[in-house]
Each structure stands twice: as structure tokens, then as C-alpha cells.
Amino acid sequence: MRHPKSWAAAAALIVGLLAGAYAFVGPARTDAPDLTLTPDREACTVIMVGKGASTDGSTMTTHTCDCGTCDWTWGHVPAADHKPGSVRKIWHINQYTTWAEGTKWVVAPTKGDTGFSIPEVPHTYAYHHGMFGYMNENQVAISESTIGTIRKLINNTPSAKIDLTMLSLLGMERSKTARECIQVMGKLAETYGYGFNDDGEMFAVSDPNEVWIFEIMPVGPLWTPETGKPGAVWCAQRVPDDHISVCPNESRIGEINLDDKDNFLASPNVVSCAVENKLYDPASGKPFSWKRAYSPAPGSAQSSNGSRQRLWRFLAGNAPSLKISPATENMDLPFSVKPDKKLSPQDVMNWTRDKSYGTPYDPIQGIRGGPFQNPNYWRGTRKISVSNVEYTSLVQCRPGLPNEIGGIVWVAFGVQDTACYMPLYAGMNAVPKSFTVGDHFVFNRASARWASDYVDYHVQVIYNQAIKDVQKALVEFEGGALQKIPEIDKQAVALYAKSPAKAREYLTKTVIDLNDKIVAGWWDLGDKLLVKYNHLAFYNSEKRTRDRVNAYDAQWNKAVRMVDAWLQEDAAPGGPRR
């Protein structure tokens, strides 16, 4: 290693490398310059588990809702009957924005007003929503990941009436099964045009029996209904029941077989749109591949130095027997794999917290994590668990129970490793008040998200110590919630047999009370962390003692001493020795 040429250079090195300010983000997709997805948007991971790959026979999917400034609030929309001739107003709802005037659900009817409506259906189903619709009363569930598409296909003109958030709400309102949800969303996008705020996107659409990957793209800015062509192009593939899959902001559907209607669904223009836009040449002799046509993304975990390792990490981590190499091109990795071991809900929650420890892309390797081995300093590795997440959802669809009881949305506000998952049953008539309030720019003790951020803020200061306190609290609160589910199920099922309405009331009160206690517990945890690690010391409230912190990483200490030696050498008469 060459010595720094000056004191200023050495100072920059220690400030940058050791204090964690060095924010290497990894290589951009220069080998696919026509894609709309950029590296700073690569953080929204969807994990999918088929019913035969889970320990309890449920299907599970997750959504890491990342942004850093997005609206994190949740809400509940009740079921409704509609008179003949009623219309459904269509809003444009930007998934990446917050507003000072209130939550997007307050602002959208005015700021997002398109002046456009579509025919309403006679009955719409109840559902819970955050940034998107997540689960309805029929256990139809959605999880999302942006995948990008070819730039020429973007349609952000007013002809694209349906954007992604609106599409998810319509799917929740009108669907009894995952398959029906895909067909409803696909047909609406074809008819009214998809895009405006969004481009290439993926939804994991599930119910108690199936998990599907649904991917949708606009068809370009020249589209209008008068063309007579579909206003979107989309494709869906079913995840095998005994398999798991993952979407880390990359298209996952490859070659398709539209004759296999059990496992593939698509818009009528799925191939013709690619041919018209010169994205696929039938004369090439090559089979049509959805992702290679509409969202090609060359590269691998290894070639990207870890910036595109999430796909490899999850598949290889759950199926080590397959010996999947990080050098394998992501485009060549399998659509899904059979895991070596079945996954429980707690396993999936833990995977959403994954930091790639022990891999070549470990974010605390060497001095990457700074003095307290903080995995959030190093930005070269794109991890499943990210530091700019609004919330993470785990939608669990369980067979053998009434839909209102079988469906659970688990929500963890803020950064996954310092947040606690809390349940919302599909049959609840409301969500906790603390889920519905707050934004990034005003601290609010009435907000569940701010409780998580309060804990996380104190953890970041002395990560390798404070994270142990959080993990202990997770055993109590998150583990406690998981343990309570069977008893809640039992009570709700007994009530449901007598009165579904009373079962819904029971679920609403019981689960809101449970989640309120968790939020209160997280505020208390934050207060305790502030006291315990104040001034980078250990304060013992019970013994009323204070001890010095002795938790600095040994490699970090060694690096500091090395840089100190360089600085002294530079300051010596004659300057640095060569």
C-alpha cells in the first residue's frame, strides 16, 4: 500500500473510510443503458414462498417499501355495494411522494384527480393498504418491486390513466383469487392505459393456493385508446407450490409457454409488442424471453461487486445444495428453487433483515462497518435489508380458515433489523391509529413509524452493542405476537361460526390492542437505549453505574493506528519516506 501524499489525504481517508462516509454505490448498469431502473432505486425486495415450501402450508410474500421520503401510512377501506351506473374515480398516486397537506389518501382525490372515471362494479371488497393495496378480505395479496423497462416504452402522458398504486387498489377491490386479480389488473391496464407515474413493475400476487409473479410495462407515449391496441403489456408466471422465489428489482420471467394456462398468463400483445418495438426478432430462431425483451439487465453478484447480489444471496442461501455461483449471470439464475428447508413466517421475517453476513459481500468485512461494525455504512453491497425503508410487509395467506381469519399482513415500520413485525388480520374493520399518521419531516409520538425510527436512531450510534438489545426485544414482542396467533385464530373461528361480524369485531379490537402494546414497547425501548448508551458509555439504570465502552472493532482500531503512523510520517522533517 502506498502512503498518503499529504496530511489532508490521510485525513480524508480516515474520515471517509473509517467514519463510514465513503458511500460506494457500486457500478451502474452501463451495460444496459436503455433501462429506466437506476441503482439508487434497487432496494425493493420481494420474497415469495409457495404453500408447499412453508412450514405451515401458507403462501407468503414480502415487500420492502423503500424510498426515504415515501408516504408510510396505512389505512383500511371497507367493503361497499354500488348502484347500477356508479363510477369509480381514477386518481394518479405517485408512489414516491409525501405531501405536507396530509397522507396521500387525503391528498390524492384533489392533487391526483385525473377527471377520469371507469364503470364501478356492483360490490367492492374490503382491504388494507399502505403505499399499495396489500390484502383484501378474500386473502388476495400483493407485494411490489420496481423492475424498470426499455425507455422507449415509457408512457407518462395523460393517455395512461392507470398507474401502479391505482392498479393495486382496483385489484384489491375486485378480486376473489390471485389469478382473478391478475386478470382484472391486466385488463384494466390494457383498456385504459398503464404508466403515467410508473414504468416496468412487478407484483407478487397470492392467495392461499397460489403465488404468481405479475410483471407489467407501458407501451410507449404514442398510445391512445383510439389505436385499438392494448395500453399495456404484461405477463405472469406461477411460482411452483414447493418453490420459493425472489424479485430484487429485476424482471424474473424468462421464456413463456402460453399453452400452459395453469402456470402462465399474458396480455394478447405479449410478443407482438416486442416485435413492433424491435425488442425481439422471431427470425432469430431464439425463443421469446419476456425479461430479455422488456427488461434486460446483464450482470451478476460477482461482476457487480455485490451491488446486484440479492437474487443470488436469497436463492443460494435457501438452496445451498444447488451450489449456485455468485458468478452466474442474474438473467441465467432460475425463476424459482426448491428450498433445502421449508420456511416459517419467522424465517421469512429474518430473511427480510438479511445483511449478507459471511458472504463475499459482507458489509462489515474489514473496516467497512466502522468502529461498531455498522452494516449500514458500506453501500457497495445491495442488501435485502436496507436503511431507507418505509416499512416491510409480509402477507401470509393461510388455507383451512375463513378468509377474514386466514389472511394476515405483518407490518414492520422502518428499518427491518430494528423494527418489529405487527399483525393485521384480513377481517379487521380498521388498522391501529398509530399506523395512519406521521411523515418524515415532523417527529410524532403518535406514529408507529416514528417509534421504530426512534429505536433505530439510537442503534446506529453503537450498532454492535445496541442491536443485541433490539434482538432481545424482538424475541419478546415479535415472538410473542407469533405465539398469540393460534389462540387469536381459535377465538375468532369460534365467533365466526356464530357471527362473522362479531369475529371481525373481535379481531379488530384484539389485534389493535396487541399492536398498541408493541408500539408502546418500542417507544420504551428507544428511551432505554438513549440512557444505556449515552455519551458512548454503558449506563446501568438498576445499579446506577457507568462504564466505558470497550466495543470498538479490533480491525478498526488497527486501521486507526496505521493512519496515525502515516500522519506522523508526513509531519516529520523531510515529509513521507518513499
Measure CA of the first residue to CA of the last residue in the chain; give whole Å.
11
Quick one: DSSP state of residue 215? Answer: E
- pLDDT for 427: 98
Contact status, residue 394 vs residue 410, Cβ threshold 8 Å:
yes
One pLDDT digit (tens) per residue for the chain, 578 residues: 333 334 344 444 444 444 333 333 333 333 444 666 554 445 799 999 999 999 999 999 999 998 888 899 999 999 999 999 999 999 998 888 777 777 777 787 777 888 999 999 999 999 999 999 999 999 999 999 999 999 999 999 999 999 999 999 999 999 999 999 999 999 999 999 999 999 999 999 999 999 999 999 999 999 999 999 999 999 999 999 999 999 999 999 999 999 999 999 999 999 999 999 999 999 999 999 999 999 999 999 999 999 999 999 999 999 999 999 999 999 999 999 999 999 999 999 999 999 999 999 999 999 999 999 999 999 889 999 998 899 999 999 999 999 999 999 999 999 999 999 999 999 999 999 999 999 999 999 999 999 999 999 999 999 999 999 999 999 999 999 999 999 999 999 999 999 999 999 999 999 999 999 999 999 999 999 999 999 999 999 999 999 988 888 888 888 889 988 888 887 777 666 54
- pLDDT for 105: 76
Q: CA torsion sign, 36 to 185 to 431 to 513?
A: negative
Contact status, residue 227 vs residue 193, Cβ threshold 8 Å:
no
Residue whose cell numbers read 428507544? 526
Between CA 222 and CA 192 the distance in angstroms is: 14
- pLDDT for 94: 85
Between CA 402 and CA 174 the distance in angstroms is: 19
Residue 171 CA: distances (Å) to CA of 189, 405, 415: 11, 20, 28
- pLDDT for 21: 34
Task: Name residue 407's beta-bridge partners.
Answer: 397
- pLDDT for 575: 65
- pLDDT for 148: 95
Task: Name residue 426's beta-bridge partners.
Answer: none
Contact status, residue 265 vs residue 236, Cβ threshold 8 Å:
yes
Between CA 393 and CA 397 the distance in angstroms is: 13
Between CA 319 and CA 315 the distance in angstroms is: 6
Nearby residues of 19 by Cβ (< 8 Å), 6 or more positions away: 370
Please state the domain extents for the chain: 39-399
Between CA 330 and CA 298 the distance in angstroms is: 7
SS3 175: coil
